Chains A and B, each alone.
Chain A
């Protein structure tokens, strides 16, 4: 069966450390993989997109890797801040839908303590 798995347990880290979140998928062949941030009671906010032929993408303190062999993406936040506390969702853009449809993981909650 098709699955997108993110760690359901909250990740607690100290301010200044690097947070690493994992997204694993099975029985999908995504063209793109995207990461979103969602705050409680709010819609997701787009962070980064990485294509299947890209290994790594960076944006300011954020870094995403994409390993299509392992079927895994890692999302890193360096020099984390309490304001980074939120739920982070990975989403796959499906090839057979014109890349438009997104399938979301359940998200991982990140808590950054001062």
Chain B
């Protein structure tokens, strides 16, 4: 159990367009989901914490108007990169916390975004 999926796995878009990435918990309810970004050979950097039914909490330096997060249900959170630019190209990974457990995050397989 505790499987998280992401869609799409890869996306290439033109500069200035918006891209939506979906994160789903397939076999558990995730009251909290997290969005990370990872640059090549770098660590995962937390972008925001998303709680079902409420506004996301963004980390310092992450533009909330650029990275729109919606957590409409206990199994789905979406990240929309608005007006994407080449510097937004990265590996985006989501994770979910099962129920009220705060111990372990279950990660999705990641989405590779390339902005041309």
Contacts and interface: CB of A to CB of B under 8 A. Distances in A.
Interface of B: 4, 6, 32, 34, 41-46, 49, 91, 93, 95, 97, 102-110, 112
A89 B104 contact: no
B42 A99 contact: no
B46 A102 contact: yes
Given A43-B93, A102-B34, 12 more contacts: A32-B103, A41-B91, A43-B4, A43-B6, A43-B108, A43-B110, A100-B32, A102-B44, A102-B46, A103-B46, A104-B44, A106-B42
Contacts of A105: 43
Interface string A32-59: 1010100001111110010000000000
B6 to A, nearest CB: 8
Nearest to A100: B102
Contacts of B46: 101-103
B102 A42 contact: no
Interface in A100-114: 100-107
B112 A41 contact: yes
A49 B102 contact: no
Contact of A102 (B6, B41, B105, B112): B105
B61 to A, nearest CB: 15
A34 B103 CA distance: 9
Most central of B6, B110, B112 by chain A CB within 10 Å = B110
A42 B104 contact: no
A46 B106 contact: yes
A2 to B, nearest CB: 13
A70 B106 CA distance: 28
Contacts of B4: 43
B49 A101 contact: yes
27 contacts: A4-B43, A32-B103, A34-B104, A42-B109, A42-B110, A43-B4, A43-B95, A43-B107, A45-B107, A46-B104, A46-B106, A46-B107, A49-B103, A49-B104, A93-B102, A93-B103, A98-B102, A100-B32, A100-B34, A100-B97, A101-B34, A101-B46, A101-B49, A105-B43, A106-B42, A106-B43, A107-B43
